[in-house]
Copies of this chain bind each other. A is one copy, B any other.
Amino acid sequence: MIILMRLGASPEEIQTVCEVIRSHGVEPLELPGEDRVAVGIPASLSTDQRTNLEAALGSLDFVSKVTQTSRPYKLASREFHPSTSSVVVKNTTIGAGDFVVMGGPCSVESYEQFSTAAKIVKESGATILRGGAFKPRTSPYAFQGLAEEGLKIMQQVGQETGLITISEVMSGDMAPLVAQYVDILQIGARSMQNFPLLIEAGKTMKPVFLKRGPSASIDEFLLAAEYVLNQGNPNVILCERGVMPIDKGYTRNTLDLSAVPVLKQFSHLPVIVDPSHGTGVARYVAPMAKAAMVVGADGLMVEMHPDPRKALSDGSQSLTPEQFSTLMGELRSLAPYVGVKMA
């Protein structure tokens, strides 16, 4: 942390800053400059020390600016964990060079619909089956999902097809229930900072698939991952799914593909991209999916519905079975160029 003194700050004022710093248990270092003085804190601070010091110093009139110099996450950081992590789920490993595809409908609507979708997913060579049983919907009047009934359908279809299953959990108290039926717990974008949920999902020790919030900074995203990791659960998978767009008139979100190399550089965790929510428009899913592979993502989550026009949610961004199969083929052709393997 660096504290920049106001221009013309007196020696007494500089001493006051140093005393405030010492009162938080760390030693200040004076940095004389040409036109003003800065005070540095060369020690590692705990988050609370940092927050409290920032508050204490920020309230002083003769302090011009307080700047943080370090990044706030540790367990999620590549600096503290240089080797790349991978998450093993059954016979699939995410983050170890294999490009994995999670496909399926937005919502589990019925055994027939979900079973049909699963067969298409399986035939196309994807290994993970997605489907929502609990649906976070902006409006209370929209379809809210089949709840536990949906989870039971997922479990059954997973067993019948051998596909790995992933479904969203919306509150901490439901984490054990969802963990009982599916292989991977998904935490949705709007829940990224639902801290009780992050903690409970972490406690299940199941793999946790964490979506970035639409206005979350990289630091906030990795700190959310840190909540799960901090429970002793190392199985965290990051998902970029689009940030708040400048223009909502053409895409639902702006898929931030540069977040993939950023996350790969600063974190050791696997990174998946969701071009379906990331664009909100079926015709943009395939190009953005292939781009995600090119920029280094470990896989994709793609919405596919046996009949998008009849989908109970998110139909406009769901691929048809044909589009999904075509995309899988294109990804398989592209994979060798990018240096990744695909099942």
Quote the shortest CB–CB distance from A81 to chain B (angstroms): 10
For the complex, give the distance between the alpha carbons of A216 and B216 in Å.
Answer: 13
From A93-101, A110-118, A260-268, give the one contacting chain B: A260-268
Interface check A86, CB cutoff 8 A = no
**Known: A59-B282, A195-B170. Contact between A223 and B67, CB under 8 A?**
no
Copies per assembly: 4
For the complex, give the distance between the alpha carbons of A183 and B281 in Å.
Answer: 37
User: What 0/1 pattern do residues 32 to 43 of A give for CB contact below 8 A with B?
Assistant: 111110101011
The answer on a CB contact under 8 Å between B249 and A217 is: yes
Interface size on A, residues (CB 8 A): 113
Quote the shortest CB–CB distance from A276 to chain B (angstroms): 12
Q: Report A219-254 residues with CB < 8 Å from chain B CB.
A: 219-220, 223, 226-227, 230, 243-244, 246-247, 249-251, 254
From A47-55, A123-131, A153-161, A203-211, give the one contacting chain B: A47-55
**Known: A171-B171, A258-B288. Contact between A42 and B31, CB under 8 A?**
yes
Quote the shortest CB–CB distance from A162 to chain B (angstroms): 30
**Contacting A247 at CB < 8 Å: which of B40, B79, B170, B219?**
B219
Interface check A10, CB cutoff 8 A = no
**Contacting A31 at CB < 8 Å: which of B40, B220, B262?**
B40
Interface check A58, CB cutoff 8 A = yes
**Known: A34-B44, A40-B38. Contact between A65 and B55, CB under 8 A?**
no
**Known: A40-B31, A40-B38, A64-B79. Contact between A48 and B219, CB under 8 A?**
no
**Contacting A217 at CB < 8 Å: which of B64, B191, B247, B266?**
B247
Sample of 16 A–B contacts (CB below 8 Å) = A31-B42, A32-B42, A34-B43, A35-B44, A48-B141, A65-B70, A138-B220, A140-B223, A174-B196, A215-B244, A215-B246, A218-B250, A246-B256, A258-B278, A287-B295, A291-B294
By Cβ-Cβ distance, the 7 closest A-B pairs, closest first, are: A55-B315, A217-B247, A291-B291, A215-B215, A55-B316, A47-B141, A173-B173
